[in-house]
Structure 1
C-alpha cells in the first residue's frame, strides 16, 4: 500500500509541475498514470480508506486547477482566433479600396 501511495503522490506532484509549465502532452500521460495509481491504491491488500479519501480529495483540487487552466487556454485561443478573423476582414476591406 505504501508504494502505491508513494507512486500516487509522485504522479500527482508531476501533474502539478506539468500544469505549472502548461505541458499538455505530459499532462495527458500523467492523467493516465493517475488512473493506474488510483486503481493500484484501491486494489491494495491493506486499504486505509481515510488516507485514500484524503489523497483523492487532494487530486480533485489538482483537477480543478487543471480545468481552470484549460478553460483559460481555450478562452485565450478563442480571443486570438477572433483577432485573426478581424484582421482578415480588415485586410479584405483594404484590398477592396486599394
Structure 2
C-alpha cells in the first residue's frame, strides 16, 4: 500500500511542468558542456597546438635574450611531444 502511494507521488512529480522544464534545461546544459569540452580535443585541438607552436617559433626568431629563447624552446618541445602523443594515440587506439 505504501509503495503504491510512493509510486503515485513520483509519477505526479515527473508530470509537473516545473520538473519537466528543469529536466530539459539540465539536459541541454549537459549537452552543451560536453560539446564545449570536446571542442578543444581531437583535430581542432591539434590545429590549435600547431598554431601556438608556429607562434612560438616566430617569437623565438625575434627574441635576443638566451633565457627567453630557452623558455620558448621548452614550450615548443612540449607542444611537439603533445603532437607526437596525439599522432601515436590516433594510429594505435586502445579499443
TM-score for the superposition, normalised by structure 1 = 0.41
TM-score for the superposition, normalised by structure 2 = 0.42
From the CA coordinates, give the structure whose radius of gyration is larger. 2
